[in-house]
Structures are given as structure tokens and as C-alpha cells.
Copies of this chain bind each other. A is one copy, B any other.
Amino acid sequence: MPRIAAADREDLVETRKSQIVDATLRLLASQSFDRTSVDAIAKEAGVSKGSVYLYFESKDAIIDELVRRYSLIRDVEKMVDSVNDISPEDALGTVVPVLWQQLVARRELIKLLLREGPARPDVSKVLFEKIVIPGNTMVADWLARHIGPERAKEIDTFVAGRLIFGMLMAFIITQELLGGKDARPIEDEKITSTITEVFLYGIMGRNGKKKKKAC
């Protein structure tokens, strides 16, 4: 006979898990997971070390949960949905800056994923299958619907779809994670407009923006 109703119990579990995962994310901003002790996580979360093991099977389970919780996939999905019927010419101008802002806001998570992902097969798998592939596929489908059959013969939309993220990541890594923002700042507008320009002409090929300009 549990003293606490099932719903309250679930709430408690959820609260505690969040406390611990969030504390971990905070600590991971300044040091690797390996160098972050369970003691430190517990202290940061405001619970005892023993409690951490009440809610997670092991230290590693914390990072698994963390990755599960903080993925960009839902944002990407929403964004692609919202521009579904809008051509890249019209959509990229808003999509790229928004995407940039979201990636910047999650820079710490990205730092974490870049650090921990490649070294952990389980994390890698989740990252690749649950984030990269679905996100990439959505963008590829959208591109395929808009670039026209001629251009579609020349470029692979699945590959092209991944490029937009690569371009954005290049600046997240160099400006936000490697300290470029301080050492050699670049205005956000310049980053996003250049990416928009390059990607737009890049995917449209020789027909790029032709509609808007008679040749």
C-alpha cells in the first residue's frame, strides 16, 4: 500500500530526474562528463549521492537521459512543417536565422554532444538515428519538392539537406565553442545572410532566383 498516489509518485520521479539531469547539464558546460563526479552532480542538484542512484541506474544513465531530453528534433520538425509549401527562396530568409538562434541557445548541449557523442556508441546511435536522420530527411523532402527535376539530377537532396546544418555548425563550433566570438566576432546577420545566400544559390544551381530576374 503505497503512501503516495501513483500520479504523485510519477511527479516526484520526474522532478528528481529533472533536477539531476539539469544539474548535470549545468556542470557539463565547464568540464567533461568523465571529470564530473556523481558527488558534484548530487550537490549541484541539491540531493544526496544516494538519491542519484534512486533515480538513475548508473552515472552513464544520466547522460543517456540528458541526450534523450534535449534533442533538436522537435524544433526541426516544427520548422519544416511551417515552411512545407513555401519555396526555399522565400523560406530560407527566416528559417536560417531562427535555426541559428536555436543552435546558439543550445550551444552548451552541442558542446556536450560533440564531446560525449563520438566516444559513446549508444549516444552516437541515438544522435544519429533520432536526430540526424529524421531532421535530414525532412529537409531533404522539402528540398526535393522545390528544386525542380533538372537540379535534382545534379545534386543529392539528402546530402544537400545535411549541408545547411554543416554550415550553421561551422559557426557554432568556431564562434560559440572555440571562443571565436570574442577573438574575432562576426555579426549574426552576416553569418545567417551569407549562409542563406550560399545555400540558396547552391541548391538552386544556375536557375537560382531566376524567377525574380529576367536574364
Contacts and interface: CB of A to CB of B under 8 A. Distances in A.
A117 B198 contact: no
Given A133-B184, A170-B162, A197 B155 contact: yes
A107 to B, nearest CB: 9
A111 interface: yes
Interface magnitude class on chain A: 35 or more
Interface string A29-47: 0111011000000000000
Contact of A201 (B170, B178, B179, B204): B204
Interface stretch (A5-13, A16-24, A68-76, A119-127): A119-127
A175 B115 CA distance: 16
Contact of A117 (B30, B169, B177, B195): B177
Interface in A146-173: 154-156, 158-160, 162-163, 165-171, 173
Task: Name the residue in A31, A184, A200 with the highest tally of chain B Cβ atoms < 10 Å from its Cβ.
Answer: A184
A128 interface: yes
